Amino acid sequence: MSMQVIVSQMAELFILLFLGYFLYKIHIIDDNFNNNLNKLVLYVTIPCMVVGNALSITKYASLSTAGYVFLIAIATFLLLPIAGYLIAKMLKVPQQDMGLYVFMTTFSNIGFIGFPVMKSIFGDAAIFYTTVFNMVFNMSVYTYGLYIINMGSEAKIDVTWQKIMSPATYSCILALIIYLAHFHAPHVITHTITTVGDITTPLAMMIIGATLARIPFKTVFDEFKLYPYTLLKQLILPIIAYYLLSSIIKDPLILGVTLICIAMPVGNSAVLFTNLYGGNNELAAKSVFITTIISIITIPIIVALFLA
């Protein structure tokens, strides 16, 4: 695995995050603008990213292999909330933050960080499997993810069919159809959709930076539960998962991709959702920041232990 790839991806994330922080401090971004950016990412750029990934696939696995990976991904995202709940109980997190901790454990950053890291570890063969996990991620986060993040919260999210069937949910369904049909749009269409999707990560990281800018910087590191949480989520949980999964998944590539997906840092969606629907967005922003830093150490450890 190329450590340079991981470090460069993390460095790019932090530069974008601090750009958002700086723009908020000099009043180019304010709370209203940040909220509108949040909606732009959730309703426009993420759907374009999902559909663009599907349109860009050129190598297709057999239906049986694709179906198997989909089942593994679905099972992973159904079981991770249980792990998240147990971790939150172990740490005795406040009841109002219980759902957020479960959400953060379930929905890691397998989009922007995931693809280059998977490629650096496993090569191009991992791109398809990562795409499958990304599809299931998006289908999950916009459906039962809304219920998870609402657990224990005083500000109840009114989970309606309209919220579940959001543009991102429709884009996941469309992406699945595109993949199964081996459909390819004209280059100009694919390129345009992909270009819009490519701004998802820069905008999402600037949103996180702007969210962090609302609080004194010295308090970013004072959420002490996040340190044992990160150790449990990104080291202990993947280690336990390896011994459980290795007896079920015999393909080493599928096993490796699944393991690294579990070991990824907290995803941007935690901040996007708490900004949009209410919740502890300061905790969400701090968790993305801290878990991404620590993943520079934890991901190589997992690779050295099980995938080298």
The pTM of the full predicted model, rounded to 2 decimals, is 0.82
Cβ–Cβ contacts within 10 Å for residue 62, how many? 8
> Per-residue pLDDT averaged across 203-221, rounded?
83
So what's the pLDDT on residue 156?
Answer: 59
Per the CB < 8 A criterion, the answer to whether 50 and 135 are in contact is: yes
So what's the pLDDT on residue 159?
Answer: 61
Is 80 exceeded by the pLDDT of residue 160?
no
So what's the pLDDT on residue 2?
Answer: 58
Give the separation between CA 129 and CA 219, rounded to whole angstroms: 38
pLDDT digits (tens, 9 = 90+) for 127-158: 778 878 888 888 888 788 888 887 766 655 66
Give the separation between CA 102 and CA 78, rounded to whole angstroms: 12
So what's the pLDDT on residue 118?
Answer: 79
Is 90 exceeded by the pLDDT of residue 210?
no
Give the separation between CA 282 and CA 307, rounded to whole angstroms: 35
Residue count (the chain): 308
Is 60 exceeded by the pLDDT of residue 1?
no
pLDDT digits (tens, 9 = 90+) for 226-249: 999 999 999 999 999 999 999 999
CA angle 50, 21, 110 (to 5 degrees): 25
Least confident span in 19-23, 164-168, 229-233, 289-293: 164-168
Inter-CA distances, 92 with 255, 283, 295, 307, Å: 31, 15, 23, 33
Joined tokens for residue 98: 């219980």
pLDDT digits (tens, 9 = 90+) for 52-108: 888 988 777 778 888 899 999 999 999 999 999 999 999 999 998 999 999 999 999
